[in-house]
Amino acid sequence: MKVMVLPCRVVVVVFLFSFLVLLPRPCSTASIFIPEAASSPSAEPQVDLELATDYLQQYYHLQKEPAGRMKRSGPTFTSKVKDMQIFFGLNVTGELDSDTLDVMRSPRCGVPDVEEYSTLQGSRWNKNVISYRIGRYTRDLPRSTVDSLVESAFSVWARAGGLSFVKSQTSHADIMVEFVTREHGDLFPFDGPRGTLAHAFGPGLGFGGDTHFDDDELWTTGNRGFNLLVVAAHEFGHALGLKHSRNPESLMYPSYRASRPAHLLSREDETNIKALYNRAGGRPILFPRFGWTSHYNPWTSGSLFPRLLQNRCSPDLTFDAVSTLGDATFFFRGRYLWIKHNEQLDIKEGPISNFMPRIETNIDAAFWVPRRSTAYLIHESMFWTVKGSRMKGKPRSLSHFGFPAWVQDVDAAVHLVKTGRTLFFMHDIYWSYNENRRIMDFGYPKYISEGFPGVNATINAAVHKDGFLYFFVGPQVYKYDNTQKRVVGVEKTNSWLGC
């Protein structure tokens, strides 16, 4: 996979206003040299030596020599080859054998694998609502497709890290996304087809977070060319502060791999992003158990174990899903849950698994069908059916509702009792499902902006209450009158939890 290329070895780390800023420094022109003390490299064809030299200079900070001089410290070249072999789990010989050269020829991310870049691990945005803007688009895909893929790539990290990403139209967005070629203004030029696919800067001011894709590549939605979703998700990991992983199963592995599971993040990726952003929304507070016992209804009782309570009054609070279930409203965020009973002031909260032991994941969307007294909880391409306080059967595929095969997740869902329809929202489009006939309505999907004028952002969660639709968009909630077809009010998300 390709990521941000920090072409020369030098990165100047500057602390401004508590941000870690990465400023590239120009490099001298590379010269091709043959290490005198390295037995294997000197025996390789010149083209392989040039490839290896460029690769090691770019990704392992091999020192460049002044033009016209031959480097005589061969062991340094050999040691860099060994560093690269160690990183990729190859036989550590220090020689340019076929396996080593195969890796060096593989398309990849432009961010270095070792040394200076390791100082970036731990840098993070000091907020959990991050803005982005797409400046220049590729000609390989429709703009709407690029928008959807970029949004999906951010959502991969949003779910795992408790983050929200908001698309901005201003030039002051935290993360600027652009498709460019060759020299493009950041001193780290691209190299044409293959080679370096993309690069991204770590969190900070100026270039911080900016992500660039080489538009000399063929960007696609599948396995032909390079899958934009896969590469973008990798690059945004860097833009959030993560470094490369040596684990081939990790999304942060530097070499591009088109074939990946539907859930892009490995357990290692999830652990790393949580370690960086587990304070998002406020520092968690450790509370002891409150003494509830196992005979309490798991839907209404508190945790039976010590737990970390999240700051529900954070001004940046966001939800992944919101739904009424009976006489209560459920608010999902990551693997955390708040339950607010309509007739009570107190709010139950804790990990989802404390209330629903069979669910060990986050919930992306949820809706309640009152006439069936049934709730549907969606995670990626699967959903659980809950009747009363009991799970019914095993999780089923989202295709049950009649979605096309390419739909593997939804952002939000809400049921409208008056029409008997359930609306499913995904990126900038939505579907209408007829609960009576159990089929998807004809003519969908449609654009959200057309069906709900005034709602022009990705919907994180939705709920129908007291005759109004409420759309949760980042830390704000739009109160929508579906009869008048307009937004009639805007609230803070945390106000729904009594803040």
The pLDDT score that the predictor gives to residue 309 is 61
Cα separation, 93 vs 402, whole angstroms: 55
178 labelled binding-site residue = no
269 labelled binding-site residue = no
313 labelled binding-site residue = no
Q: Where are the domains of the chain?
A: 1-280, 285-497
Q: For 241-262, what is the mean pLDDT?
A: 87
Tokens representing 283 are 């520092």
- pLDDT per position as a tens digit, 18-41: 333 333 333 332 333 334 334 444
- pLDDT per position as a tens digit, 58-75: 888 887 665 444 444 455
Q: What single-letter amino acid sits at 314?
A: S
Q: For 444-467, what is the mean pLDDT?
A: 90
Tell whether the model's pLDDT for residue 279 goes beyond 90.
no
499 labelled binding-site residue = no
Contacts 24+ apart (CB under 8 A), 384-391: 384/358, 384/359, 386/325, 386/356, 389/297, 389/298, 389/299, 391/356, 391/358
Q: Given CATH 3.30.365.10, say whether it is the number of domain 1-280.
A: no
Nearest to 472, CA basis, from 330, 362, 347, 327: 330
441 labelled binding-site residue = no
Tokens representing 277 are 């952003």
pTM attached to this predicted model: 0.49
Mean pLDDT is highest, among 34-38, 84-88, 384-388, for 84-88
Determine contact, residues 30/53, Cβ cutoff 8 Å: yes
Share of the chain above pLDDT 70, in %: 77
Cα separation, 439 vs 313, whole angstroms: 40
Please tell me which residue in 151, 235, 349, 435 is annotated as part of the active site: 235
The pLDDT score that the predictor gives to residue 313 is 85
- Using a 10 angstrom Cβ sphere, with 0-12 exposed, 13-18 middle and 19 or more buried, the burial of residue 396 is middle
3-state SS class at 177? strand
- pLDDT per position as a tens digit, 151-174: 999 999 998 888 999 998 776 789
Cα separation, 62 vs 10, whole angstroms: 11
Q: For 407-416, what is the mean pLDDT?
A: 91
- Using a 10 angstrom Cβ sphere, with 0-12 exposed, 13-18 middle and 19 or more buried, the burial of residue 341 is middle
Residue with tokens 């990626």: 380
Q: For 38-50, what is the mean pLDDT?
A: 61
**At 277, is the pLDDT very low, low, confident or very high (cuts 50, 70, 90)?**
confident
The pLDDT score that the predictor gives to residue 68 is 44
Q: For the chain, state the CA radius of gyration.
A: 25
**At 208, is the pLDDT very low, low, confident or very high (cuts 50, 70, 90)?**
confident
Tell whether the model's pLDDT for residue 414 goes beyond 80.
yes
CA 354 to chain centre: 26
Average pLDDT, the chain: 78
366 labelled binding-site residue = yes
Tell whether the model's pLDDT for residue 377 goes beyond 90.
yes
Nearest to 304, CA basis, from 285, 288, 319: 288
214 labelled binding-site residue = yes
147 labelled binding-site residue = no
The pLDDT score that the predictor gives to residue 262 is 73
208 labelled binding-site residue = yes
3-state SS class at 449? helix
The pLDDT score that the predictor gives to residue 24 is 36
411 labelled binding-site residue = no
- pLDDT per position as a tens digit, 112-166: 886 443 333 447 898 888 999 999 999 999 999 999 999 999 999 998 888 999 9
244 labelled binding-site residue = yes
Q: Which residues contact 107 (CB under 8 A, 6 or more apart)?
A: 1, 2, 194, 195, 196, 197, 226, 255, 256
Q: What single-letter amino acid sits at 114?
A: V
38 labelled binding-site residue = no
Tell whether the model's pLDDT for residue 236 goes beyond 80.
yes
**Superfamily for 285-497?**
Hemopexin-like domain (2.110.10.10)
Cα separation, 336 vs 297, whole angstroms: 18
Q: Which residues contact 462 (CB under 8 A, 6 or more apart)?
A: 322, 412, 413, 414, 423, 425, 469, 470, 471, 472
Greater confidence, 49 or 116?
Answer: 49
192 labelled binding-site residue = yes
The pLDDT score that the predictor gives to residue 101 is 94
Active site residue 235: yes
Cα separation, 89 vs 154, whole angstroms: 29
CA 169 to chain centre: 20
174 labelled binding-site residue = yes
Rounded to 5°, angle at Cα 447 from 446 and 448: 115
